[in-house]
Amino acid sequence: MGERVAVLGASDDPARMSNVALHRLAAAGHAVVPVNPNLERIDGATVAPSLADVPQPLDTITVYLRPELAEPLADAMIAARPRRVIFNPGAESPALRARLEAAGIRTQWDCTLVLLRTHRY
């Protein structure tokens, strides 16, 4: 069994990288939970409206939100206690990274899709 992964900023648009990541993470055997307060379902999967609604334990949060949208979620990310948070291209936030690492959460600036493709996930 793979990890439980929350995709923060999940989209129902197949052209969006967060949507591609949902499918590729699931195909790799991970339990994927899309997170988006504006959607109820993505391709048959139930969407969690917030990180607080993601079943625990949570291994990874992969972030597909611009910093100005992700930074206000710092407390929710810390409360979720993931093992790591991946900031995908365009989501990098030094301020959020510092808060998470100060809380003992490992962060990485990387692309989830590249990590999967290169077997480094």
Percent of residues, the chain, with pLDDT higher than 70 = 99
pTM: 0.95
Confidence at 1, pLDDT banded by 50, 70, 90: low
Domain boundaries, the chain: 4-117
Say if residue 95's pLDDT is above 90: yes
- CATH hierarchy code of domain 4-117: 3.40.50.720
2-61 tens-digit pLDDT: 899 999 999 999 999 999 999 999 999 999 999 999 999 999 999 999 999 999 999 999
Mean pLDDT for 115-121 is 93
Query: In this structure, which long-range contacts are made by residues 10-16, counting pairs with CB atoms below 8 Å and at least 24 apart in sequence?
Result: 10/34, 10/35, 10/36, 10/39, 10/42, 10/47, 10/64, 11/36, 11/39, 11/42, 11/64, 12/39, 12/41, 12/42, 12/43, 16/64
